[in-house]
Amino acid sequence: MSLPIVLITGQLLTDAVWQPLLNAWPDREVIIADNQSDDTIEGFAQRLLVDAPPKFALVAHAMGGFIAFEVMRRAPERVAKLALISTLASADGPAQTARRQGYVDLVESGRFDQVVEERIPILFPEEKRGDARLLGIARGMAADTVPDIFLAQQRAIMARIDSRPRLGEIAVPTLLIWGEKDGITSRAHHDEILEAIAGARLEVIPGAGHLPTVEAPDVVVPLLTDFIDG
């Protein structure tokens, strides 16, 4: 029997970011964790653990990575394999906090639609910013998130702890996936995780930005399938 899979994604993103994986895994047990009902990383992690099967592979993207680190602190025995996509382990520095506060200010002034437009340059590399399919996915996910949920996600992200001190405790097979043109997370962020988790592996996706599951599914889907089943 194949290992159940739990997917957890980030802020302003929905199940649509996982669609290529869902299409490829029609016969697998796949649970998409709730990323819209809490306002702390700890709350998201506890909800995931309540809803998840006893043992599972955890695939986490962006903010989902922050939640995954909390899951690993709370219940490492339940995670058989860990895949981290476009994420980082540190807490926010002043620049990140200022950028996030800018988004909060936009929403509170009634300009939620502007948030996703401001994020497009950091979500996608320049050559993809005119791609109607990708822009439609990003805008559709933002529309499905709604302002109050986005603000709750922001509060969770801004208050998260630095996960780096305990990365060395992670003892399960770990795969990192990073798009080489990601405008939000960097190679250095991923190298930091790679060096801290024994046996971890990093796969760099050429030409991809922050959303490699929808930008390069032909690469990412086989990578994740082989990792989980290997």
* Segments making up each domain of the chain, as ranges: 5-92+154-229
Look at residue 180 and give its three-state secondary structure. Answer: coil
How far apart are the C-alpha atoms of 41 and 160, rounded to whole Å?
A: 6
User: Out of 3.30.70.60, 1.10.3720.10, 3.40.50.1820, 3.40.50.300, which CATH number does the structure's domain 5-92+154-229 have?
Assistant: 3.40.50.1820
pLDDT for 102 equals 87
Q: What is the pLDDT of residues 209-222, one digit of tens each?
A: 999 999 999 999 99
pLDDT for 96 equals 85
How does residue 99 score in pLDDT terms, banded at 50, 70 and 90?
confident
How does residue 95 score in pLDDT terms, banded at 50, 70 and 90?
confident
Of 45-54, 59-68, 86-95, 199-208, the range with the lowest mean pLDDT is 86-95
> Do 163 and 89 form a contact (C-beta atoms < 8 A)?
yes
Tell me: pLDDT of 1 over 80.
Answer: no
Q: Residue 61 to residues 1, 10, 33, 175: CA-CA distances in angstroms?
A: 25, 6, 11, 12
If you search the block for the tokens 């933002």, which residue do you land on? 142
How does residue 72 score in pLDDT terms, banded at 50, 70 and 90?
very high
> Do 223 and 177 form a contact (C-beta atoms < 8 A)?
yes
Name beta bridge partners: 174. Answer: 82
Q: In the predicted model, what is the mean pLDDT of residues 40-54?
A: 98
Tell me: pLDDT of 94 over 90.
Answer: no
pLDDT for 190 equals 98
pTM confidence score: 0.96
pLDDT for 98 equals 87
pLDDT for 140 equals 96
Q: What is the pLDDT of residues 150-206, one digit of tens each?
A: 999 999 999 999 999 999 999 999 999 999 999 999 999 999 999 999 999 999 999
- Amino acid present at 215: E
Q: Which of 18, 27, 6, 10 is nearest to 228 (CA)?
A: 6
Tell me: pLDDT of 87 over 90.
Answer: yes
Tell me: pLDDT of 46 over 80.
Answer: yes
Q: In the predicted model, what is the mean pLDDT of residues 43-57?
A: 98
Look at residue 91 and give its three-state secondary structure. Answer: coil
Q: Residue 98 to residues 43, 121, 223, 224: CA-CA distances in angstroms?
A: 24, 17, 35, 34
Q: Which of 116, 112, 153 is nearest to 137 (CA)?
A: 116
pLDDT for 28 equals 96
pLDDT for 93 equals 85
